Structure 1
Amino acid sequence: MAKIIPFKAVRPTRDKVSLVAARSYQSYTKEQLESRLRDNPFSFLQIVNPGYRFDKEISGEARYSLVRNRYLEFIEDNIFAQDENPCYYIYKIVDREHQVFNGIIAAASALDYENNVIKKHEDTIAYREIVFKDYLKTVGFNAEPVLLTYPDNAVIDSIINETHKERAEFEFTTTYRDTHYLWKVDNPETIEIIQKEFNNIPTIYIADGHHRSASSYLLYKDLKDANPDHHGDEDYNFFMSYLIPESDLQIHAFNRLIKDLNGLTKEEFLIQLDTFYRIENRGKIPYQPTKKHHFSMYLDGDFYSLYLRKTIYNIETSLDGLDSQILYKTILNPILGIEDLRNDQRITYINGKKDILNIKSSVDSGEFKVGFVMVPVLVEELKQIAEDGLKMPPKSTYIEPKLRSGVTIYEF
Structure 2
Amino acid sequence: MSQHALVRPFPGWRPPSDQVEQISAPPYDVMNRAEAAQMAHQNARSFLHVSRADLAFDDEVPTADERVYLAAAENYARLKADGALAQDPTPCYYFYRLIMDGRAQTGLVAAASVIAYDGDRIKKHEFTRPDKENDRTEFAWRLKAHSGPVFLTYRNTPALSALLERGASGEPTYDFTAADGVQHTLWVVSDAELIDAVTDAFDALPHVYVADGHHRSAAASRCRERWINEHGEPEAEAPVNRFLSVLFPDDQMRILDYNRVVADLNGLSAEAFVTALETDFEVGAPQSEAISPSQPQSFGMYLNGQWRLLRLKPGVGALEDPVKRLDVSLLSDHLLGPILGITDPRRDKRIDFVGGIRGMAGLSRRVDSGEMTVAFSMYPTSMADLMAVADAGEVMPPKSTWFEPKLRDGLVIQSF
Normalised to the residue count of structure 2, the TM-score between the two structures is 0.89
**Deviation for aligned residue 1:238:** 0.5
Paired position in structure 2 for 1:122: 126
Contact 1:101 1:401 in 2 (8 A): no
CA distance in 1, matches of 2:336, 2:85: 48
* Equivalent position of 1:238 in the other structure: 242
**What's 1:80 paired with?**
85
For 1:283, what is the secondary structure of its paired residue? Answer: coil
The amino acid of 2:267's aligned partner reads: G
- Establish whether residue 150 from structure 1 lines up as the match of residue 157 from structure 2: no
Mapped to 1, the partners of 2:67 and 2:302 lie a distance apart of 46
> The residue matched to 2:156 in structure 1 has which SS?
coil
Tell me if structure 1 keeps the 8 A contact 2:182–2:405. Answer: no
| Structure-2 residue corresponding to 1:111 | 115
Q: Please report the RMSD computed on the Cα atoms of aligned residues, expressed in angstroms.
A: 2.7
Q: Is 2:358 aligned against 1:349?
A: no
Q: Retained in 1: the 8 A contact 2:126–2:399?
A: no
Larger C-alpha radius of gyration, 1 or 2? Answer: 1
Quick one: distance in 2 between partners of 1:89 and 1:5?
11
Residues 45 and 257 of structure 1, relative CA distance in 2, 3 Å threshold = closer
Matches within 5 A, 1:213-252: 213-228=217-232, 230-252=234-256
> Is 1:161 aligned to 2:165, yes or no?
yes
For residue 357 of structure 2, give the secondary structure of its aligned residue in structure 1.
Answer: coil
Q: Map 1:166-177 onto structure 2 (within 5 A).
A: 166-177=170-181
Verify: 1:12 aligned to 2:15, yes or no: yes
User: Which one-letter code corresponds to 1:245 in the other structure?
Assistant: P
Shift of 1:42: 2.2
Moved more, 82-91 or 44-53: 44-53
Alignment partners' CA distance in 1, 2:342 and 2:233:
50
Amino acid at match of 2:123: K
User: What's the CA shift for 1:41?
Assistant: 3.2
Q: SS of 2:398's equivalent? A: coil
1:371 aligns to what SS in structure 2? Answer: strand
Quick one: which amino acid aligns to residue 333 of structure 2? Answer: K
Structure 1 distance, partners of 2:42, 2:364, is 36
Determine the C-alpha separation between the residues in 2 that align with 1:55 and 1:305. 41
Deviation of 1:396 after TM superposition, in Å, equals 1.6
Q: 2:315 matched to 1:307?
A: no
Give the structure 1 partner of residue 192 of structure 2. 188
**Greater Cα shift, 152-161 or 221-230:** 221-230
User: Does the Cα contact within 8 Å between 1:16 and 1:42 map onto a contact in 2?
Assistant: no
* C-alpha contact (below 8 Å) 2:281/2:313 kept by paired residues: yes
Q: Distance in 2 between matches of 1:88 and 1:49?
A: 27
Q: Cα gap change, 1:125/1:225 in structure 2, threshold over 3 Å: closer, same or farther?
A: same
Q: Matches of 1:28 and 1:311 in 2, distance apart?
A: 39
Determine the C-alpha separation between the residues in 1 that align with 2:172 and 2:84.
19
Partner Cα separation in structure 2 for residue 92 and residue 60 of structure 1: 35
Q: CA deviation at 1:264?
A: 3.0
CA 1:333–1:179: 2 relative to 1, 3 Å: same
Q: Secondary structure at the match of 2:151?
A: strand
Once residues 234 and 124 of structure 2 are traced to their aligned partners in structure 1, the CA distance between those partners, rounded to angstroms, is 27
Q: Which amino acid aligns with 1:243?
A: L
* Other structure's SS at 1:241 match: strand
**Do residues 292 (structure 1) and 296 (structure 2) align?**
yes
What is aligned with 2:376?
372
More divergent stretch after superposition (393-402 vs 347-356): 347-356
Distance 1:264 1:41 in 2: 48
- The one-letter code of the counterpart of 1:140 is K
The corresponding residue for 1:337 is: 341
1:381 aligns with one of 381, 385, 397: 385
Note if contact 1:295-1:306 (Cα within 8 Å) is conserved in structure 2. Answer: yes
Task: State the distance in 2 between where 1:279 and 1:130 align.
Answer: 40
Please state how far the C-alpha of 1:224 moved relative to its aligned partner: 3.4
The one-letter code of the counterpart of 1:341 is P
Moved more, 80-89 or 123-132: 123-132
Identify if the C-alpha distance between structure 1 residues 107 and 303 changes in structure 2 by more than 3 Å, giving closer, same or farther: same
SS at match of 2:95: strand
1:17 maps to a residue whose letter is V
Count residues with an aligned counterpart. Answer: 411
Q: CA deviation at 1:93?
A: 1.1
Say whether the 8 Å CA contact 1:2–1:117 is kept in structure 2: no
Instruction: Say whether 1:3 aligns with 2:1.
Output: no
Select between 236-245 and 341-350 the one with higher mean Cα deviation: 341-350
Query: What residue number does 1:324 align with?
Result: 328
Report the CA distance between 1:291 and its aligned residue. 1.5
CA pair 211-368 structure 1, distance change in 2 beyond 3 A: closer
**Preserved contact between residue 65 and residue 139 of structure 1 (Cα < 8 Å):** no
- What TM-score do you get using the length of structure 1 for normalisation? 0.90
Note the alpha carbon deviations across 1:184-242, whole angstroms, 9 max, x for none.
Answer: 12111111111111011001110111111111111112223544573311111100101
Contact between 1:92 and 1:100, CA under 8 Å: does it hold in 2?
yes
Q: CA deviation at 1:55?
A: 9.5
- Residue 78 of structure 1 aligns with an amino acid whose one-letter code is G
Counterpart-to-counterpart distance in 2, 1:244 and 1:319: 23
Q: Distance in 2 between matches of 1:259 and 1:209?
A: 26
Offset, 1:302? 4.0
- Structure 2 CA distance, aligned partners of 1:369 and 1:64? 34
Larger displacement relative to structure 2 (81-90 or 33-42): 33-42
1:137 to 128, 131, 141: 141
Distance of 1:51 and 1:342 partners within structure 2: 22
- Give the aligned partner of residue 268 of structure 1: 272
Q: Distance in 2 between matches of 1:266 and 1:66?
A: 45
Separation (CA, whole Å) in 2 of partners of 1:36 and 1:321 = 40
Pair 1:252–1:34, CA change in 2 (3 A): closer
Matches of 1:74 and 1:22, distance apart in 2: 14
* 1:243 aligned counterpart, secondary structure: strand
CA-CA distance at 1:151 after TM superposition: 0.8
CA distance in 2, matches of 1:364, 1:375: 22
Task: Give 1:380 deviation, angstroms.
Answer: 1.2
Q: What CA distance in whole angstroms lies between the structure 1 residues aligned with 2:192 and 2:34?
A: 46
SS at 2:284 equivalent: strand
Deviation, 1:379, is 0.8
